[in-house]
Every structure is written in C-alpha cells, then in structure tokens.
Amino acid sequence: MVPIAPLTVVLFATIVIGVAATLTAWRARPEPGSLPLVAMLAGQSWWSTCLVFQVQATTLQAKMFWVDISWVGVVVIPVAWLAFALQYTGRDEYLQCRYLVLVSLVPALTIVLALTGEYHDLFYRESRLLVQNGSLRIHRTVGPWFWLITGYTYLLGLFGGIPILSLLSSDARPFRGQSFALLLGTLAPWMSNVFFLLGFYDTSGLDPTPVAFSVSGVAYLAAVTRFRLFGASPSPTHRARRLVFTKMHDGAVVVDRHDTVVDMNEPATEVLGVSPSDALGSPATSVIPSYDDFPSEGALSTPLSIDSDRGVGRYDVSVVPIDDVHDRPLGRVISFHDVSDILRERQRLKVLNRVLRHNLRTEANLIAGYADLLADGDEAHESSLIKERTQRIIDVGDKGRAVVELFERDWSEVEPRDVATLLDSCVTDVAAEYPEASIVVGEAPTNASVLAVLKPVVLNLVENSVEHNSTDVPWVEVSARVVEGTVEIRVVDNGDGIGDYERRVLAQGEESPLEHGSGLGLWLVTWGVDIADGSVTFENRQPSGSVATVRVPNVSVPAEVQAR
C-alpha cells in the first residue's frame, strides 16, 4: 500500500495537472470539443479531490460522504468523453438535446442513488471501516447498480473511442498525434480501474483510477499544445464529405451490389424526377433510365437523354465502384453531369464554323467581284477601300474557323511536333504570304517537342507581328530554348507593340463593351497555350516592337522528370 503522505502528494499533483488542462481547454472555446473536454477534465479533478478528502477522513460517515459525492465526477467523465469525441470529429448531429438527455438518464439516476444510499442497497449493500497497514479504509460491498453503471460507463467510453481511433489512420500528421494522445489519456485511468475491479493488485480498498488521471492530464495537455488539438481540427471533414455528396452540382446515386438504390443527393432527384422516398430501396432499373446499359466502371460512351419535368436533359454518366478494405464490391456511385448546355454550345460552334467556312467567304468574294467592276470607272479609290475591308472580313472568317477547329479537335491524339521543325514551318508559311517581311528563325533546340496545338499558336503570333507593323520592312525573329523541362518560344518584332488595353483584356480573360481586343488572333494564341497547359506573356520592347513568350511542357521529357 502507498503511504498516506506520498499518496496525498500524488493526488494533489494530479489535481494541479487536471486543473491546468481544464483551464487550457476552457481558453480554447468555442473550438469544437472544447466544452465537453472541459467537463471531462473537471469530472476527473472532482473525483481526485474527493479521493483526497476520503483518504484524510477518519470516520465511516465522512468517508461514505466523499465516496458518494465523487460519483458526480465519475458519471460526468464518460458522457463528456462521448460528447467530445462526437463533436471533435464532426459528428455533432448526434449531440442534440434529446440524445444528450437520453444518454444522461443512467448517470443522473446513479447520482440520485449514490446520494440516497442510506435508504436502499441498490448501490452499496454494506459499508464498514477497516484498519489496513495502520490506515483507516472504507470497505463497501457493491450492489447491482454499481455493476450496471460500470458497464454503462465502459460502453460510452467504447463508443467515444471509435471515432477517435479512426483518426490514427489519417493522412494528416497532427490528427494522428492528437488521437494517440487522447486515447492514451483515456485508456490510462480506465485500464487502472479495470485492474482494480478485477483485483489484479492490492490497493487496500482504494480505487487508484484518480491517480492515473495524472497521465490523462499530461496526455491531454500534449494534445492541446504539441499536437494543436484546437488548432488543427478534423471536425469539418466528416460533415464536409456528406455535404459534398448532398450539395454537389452533379446528380449522384448510390446503389448496392444488388443494384438497389440506397442513397441519392438532391440534384439526382431533380435529374431523375423522383423523390427519395420513392427511389430509396427500389431497383435501380426502375429509377434510372437505361441502367442495364451502364458499364460496371467508367463513363457511358454517349450522353444519356433523360426526360423529366424540366424537359429533356443530356447527361454524361460515370460509374465508380465502391469496395471494402478487402477489395470486395459493395456497390457503385453513379453520377450525372449535365452537358445539355455544352452540347448546345457545340452545335452553335458547328453552325458558326459552317457560316464562316461557306456563307461569309462566299458573300465576301461577291463583294470583291463587284469592287473589281467599280475599278474600271471613276470609283477606283472606293473600289480599293471595299476590297481592303472585304479582305478583313475574310481574314476574320479564317481566324474564326481556326478558333472553332482549336476547340473541336482532340489535340492529345495528334502527334507532338519537333520544335525546330514547327518554327521553320510557321516562318515558311507566313513568309510566303508576306514576302516583303523579314522573318527569321533564331536559336531552336533539336531535341524538344511540343503539342501540335502550338502550330496555330506560333503561326498567329508571327502573322500578328507582321500585320500590326507600320515599318517599311517588318522584321520578326522566332526562337526557342529548353528551360528545366519547359520549352520557351519567343516571338520578337520591330512593330507597333501591343497596347495596354489588349494586354489587360487578355489578362482578365473576357471582353466587355468598353474593353475588348482588336481581333481573334491573340485570343487564339491564349486559348491554344491554355490547351497545351502552358502560359504566354506579352511585353513591349524599346524603342519599338513587342516580345511574346510562350512557355509549354517539353513533351519529349518523361513525366517523372518534368515533375521534379
């Protein structure tokens, strides 16, 4: 048996540590879990304090009093632990008042029975004083309610430990540290209590659990200070995952391995035109059109048409299997992404492409023909102006067709282009159209490749440099170099430069009636570079001219090298 003096010192140290941890948790309010943790630590400190007075008491009546009122702290601990675990891990939907009242009924009744023990023997059947090793100890024969509240306490502790235990496998290091400290602080006194109840060691009738609270206090202090218990909280994650499912824009339906609908979010009810009460528990074939045609995994090859109260919608359908930890199938998540607007936009692009390709050019050629007829008369100057403007219309149409092709073509399926060959090709094409210009290729790497979408990008940059150049001899130099897995292409000219408003519009990514670019060429460049997962910058040079710098991945370099 531990002597009285050393035991009292240990208990006082336990109380000091517990109060320090309680105050630390109190200062963290209103962080999730702070108030339940305060209640739990206060319950531990109360129990330890009562044990100090019980040890020092010299009469049976006094010792019984301190044992009885210690139950106030004893029963608070498991309820507060469960509330802390639920709130801290984001499962606070279970902390509604009616649930807390229900969970607290047995502890509340325990306090009543402990304080009225002289009128019944449900809690303790017999109490007497014993002298052991020169010290007075109280010996009490327990009744049925003692074992009931003991089992209930461990049950609440188990339920609270499950969500905390799940954090041990978290990818976030602070959460792993927090859960380890919390579990250590909880298991230490509980294991001490279990050993005491099973009679593993002789404590002369004293429950050593409050002594183990010193370990709890240190562990909880470490969780708060070292592992930022209230600075890095997992509480949003549990609710956020459910929120992502319920509030995501796409419709989502969960089916089990027997193809029965077991869950669905709100957008899915709108897509399918059904209510959850009618859909849940029903076969998927009766809820989802063409369900039998869905792949076991992956995306449906063509958009699915669904007729609902909102009209006919077109949806991309994807199927993701759900497996357990042993890779056994549990079910599938089926998502519906509305592509109706995208398909309508694609249709509009096709119509625009046809108009630009045929109608606009045909009408422009007719206008040019009539202008030639005027040239034979006195309207030669007017004829020249008409033909100049007509050519601009044709150029806009050509740029428009290039933009349409830029978005319609799957560039990932086109063979990458050697950088040096691509630059030579672009310069040759533009030089043939503008023989008066001086267009040269500077330094270019021979061991680098880029996506084929860079061909219209560089072509338009060179054309722009020549077209927007008021000098007598337009000059353009195109060069490239490899910088750490990236190809950097520079187009330098001696032209008029790029206006601030042009660069501002391109940086904003959209036009307005008051701010807009002068054409489609630079937009084609910007969009093409974006498709190539690159970037482009424009600068003016002194005394005149501009510099366009395109940076894109070097696709001839392995992906793992680019990532370094």
DSSP string, 393-452: HHHHHHHHHHHHHHHHS-GGGSPPEEHHHHHHHHHHHHHHH-TTSEEEE----SS-EE-T
Query: Which of residues 18 and 62 earns the better pLDDT score?
Result: 62
Q: Considering the chain, what is the average pLDDT of its residues? A: 80
- Using DSSP, how many helices (H) and how many strands (E) does the chain show? 19, 15
From CA 24, how far away is CA 225, in angstroms rounded?
9
At 323, the pLDDT band (50, 70, 90 cuts) reads confident
Q: What is the pLDDT of residue 152?
A: 94
Q: What is the pLDDT of residue 561?
A: 39
Query: Which of residues 31 and 116 earns the better pLDDT score?
Result: 116
At 222, list the tokens: 């470490």
Task: Using the predicted structure, report yes or no on whether residue 54 has a pLDDT greater than 50.
Answer: yes
Express as a percent the part of the chain with pLDDT over 70: 77
pLDDT in tens, 305-322: 887 766 678 889 999 998
Q: What is the pLDDT of residue 349?
A: 61
Q: What is the pLDDT of residue 46?
A: 92
Query: Which of residues 347 and 495 earns the better pLDDT score?
Result: 495
pLDDT in tens, 145-199: 999 999 999 999 899 888 888 777 766 666 777 788 888 878 888 888 887 777 7
Q: What is the pLDDT of residue 106?
A: 95
Q: Quick count: other Cβ atoms within 10 Å of Cβ 103? A: 18
Task: Determine the topology of domain 4-236 in CATH.
Answer: Rhopdopsin 7-helix transmembrane proteins (1.20.1070)
Task: Determine the topology of domain 248-338 in CATH.
Answer: Beta-Lactamase (3.30.450)
Q: What is the pLDDT of residue 427?
A: 94
Q: What is the pLDDT of residue 71?
A: 93
pLDDT average, residue stretch 422-440: 92
List the CATH code of the domain at 414-563.
Answer: 3.30.565.10
pLDDT in tens, 364-380: 677 767 666 666 655 66
pLDDT average, residue stretch 460-475: 87
Please state whether the predicted TM-score (pTM) of the whole model is above 0.85. no
Tokens 């879990």 sit at which residue? 33
At 306, list the tokens: 């669904």
